Amino acid sequence: MSGRDEAPALPPFRNEPVLELRRAAERESLRASLAELDARLPLAVPVWVGDDHRTGEDFASTDPGEPERRVAVAAEASAADVDAAVARAAEAQRHWGRRPAAERAKVLVAAAAVLRRRRLELAALEVRECAKPWPEADADVCEAIDFLEYYAREAIRLERGPTLDQARGERNTMRYVAAGVVAVIAPWNFPLAIPTGMTAAALAAGNAAVLKPAEQSPATALALVEALHEAGLPAGTIALLPGHGEVGAALVEHPGVHVIAFTGSSAVGREIVRVAARTPDGQAHVKRVVAEMGGKNPLIVDDDADLDQAVPAAVAFVYAGQKCSAASRVLVHESIADTLAERLAGMVELLRVGPAAELETDVPPVIEREARERILAYVELAAGDGRSLATAPVPTGPGWFCAPTLVGDLDPSSRVLREEVFGPLLALERVPSVEAACERIEALPFALTGALFARNPETVAAVAERSPVGNLYVNRHTTGAMVGRQPFGGNRLSGTGASAGGPDYLLQFLEPRVITEDTTRQGLVVD
């Protein structure tokens, strides 16, 4: 980035407002967009490198609520496609990275406008491809728009460079330049927002990006690439490589990749860090890994808590527990444990499990058969290590429906208390004090999000000082971080690097350059 004072006349950043789904007109517009989408299924997702498109039906994404419905058919990227995409990205990045930040910002803001225009269509696509309920799908599109708008402004801010200390007889300046080709390896649970966030950050910083979407959601990722091209992003600056894990592994190992932006499980993230640390012959750089990984998000309920707030925050099954930030472990003061258990059980038993497209649904299906089998195995394990306190009925017929379940009295050594389930399973634990709850949390390998429900300001201050999580929420739910307001990211085995949607995030995609100039000229000092 070069030091320029001029910036485009962008208004201050504001989060994109979600739809008012209590309004009948809004609900009808969503249903109409779903009907229009259904008439076009299955969508075709190509391997897209530069101006080249290669279509195919190597694999398909399907509707988790109706697995026989194919939402998209996609071509599988090959090793040759990975090589071509990285080479093309390296060439394109040299030109893109030289553009002023204002020009790059203009493209990102234009892409946000495309997503805004296609908002209903994209929400419908998420409902079908990932069984994301309407409120969650709409919020996901809004977050994608936020990332584009926010990082556009951040690029302009960072282009000015920081102010350094000066001494008589020298001039010190600092600027940031693009790091190089960024491999973006994205998840399915936020199928538009997360790939948009990682990709937008890379592009805002002047890098080229190669996007490998989750195999469960290739069509949603295609919409992002289409929006960027429509907005004027040069060919080659973004590539789309649909496929399975082998495609992501090839990108991680590729010597032409400089930064790897990953969101997914802790196991995969740690393997990426391990492989990325290699520096084979011909690779003249050490790869950076920006990873947002799993969580085992605790929720502490003290004896003075408002249970009207705590109960709905704990039962975070609105997306079937498939959010890395969803509460999965409730640690409650023993004096109110019975009351809280009764209220949580009552809420769980009343949850309506059903298709994501129905606005009355509380809990949609999980993403695929393998996910349901994994979650049911944890439920069985919990029944052996403790006891089931409540469960909700599930519909019969097709669909990967999984009953929301509340368990309690687990053995302290139970894997259910330490491992990420990524499903609608909530564990309740009795603790003698908030301090005891903090001790159990400190023993966890994860530190993504957490919540505290307490009225005493001293308790709040003590937990805030002690908590290792990246995002601690006080008297509110653990999900729903907003770009610019709650930068999101974890510590320990939950993540590396700066928080997404915050003022430090773009720095991970940049290299600093410092220039010190001796300003003395023939014995004269020039200030």
Task: Decide: helix, strand or coil at residue 12.
Answer: coil
Residue 112, CA atoms < 13 Å, CB-side half-sphere: 25
The DSSP code sequence of 163-228 is: -----TTEEEEEEEEE---EEEE--SSSTTHHHHHHHHHHHHTT--EEEE--TT-HHHHHHHHHHH
Which of the residues 136, 149, 159, 324 is marked catalytic? 324
Dihedral Cα 259, 264, 266, 267, nearest 10 deg: -90
- Tokens representing 139 are 């919020």
In order of 269, 313, 377, 450, 491, the CA distances from 370 in angstroms are: 20, 27, 11, 27, 28
Q: Residue 47 forms beta bridges with which residues?
A: 54
Please identify which residue in the block is written with the tokens 């994608």.
Answer: 144
292 labelled catalytic:
yes
Note the maximum CA span of the chain. 88
Q: At what angle do helices 245-253 and 79-96 cross, to 10 degrees?
A: 50
Distance CA 194, CA 291 (A): 12
> Which phi and psi (to 5°) does residue 48 adopt?
-125, 105
324 labelled catalytic:
yes
Q: Tell me which residue of 497, 59, 478, 137 sits closest to 310, measured CA to CA.
A: 478
- Tokens representing 408 are 């309690």
The distance of Cα 372 from the centroid of its chain, to the nearest Å, equals 21
Sequence-ordered list of residues with C-beta below 8 angstroms from that of 277, at least 6 positions apart, any chain: 286, 287
- Other C-beta atoms within 10 Å of 81: how many? 24
Which of the residues 292, 368, 420, 429 is marked catalytic? 292
Q: Which amino acid appears at position 430 of this protein? A: R
Dihedral sign from CA coordinates of 395, 398, 401, 403? positive
Sequence-ordered list of residues with C-beta below 8 angstroms from that of 483, at least 6 positions apart, any chain: 15, 143, 146, 147, 150, 197, 500, 501
- Other C-beta atoms within 10 Å of 456: how many? 13
Catalytic residues: 292, 324
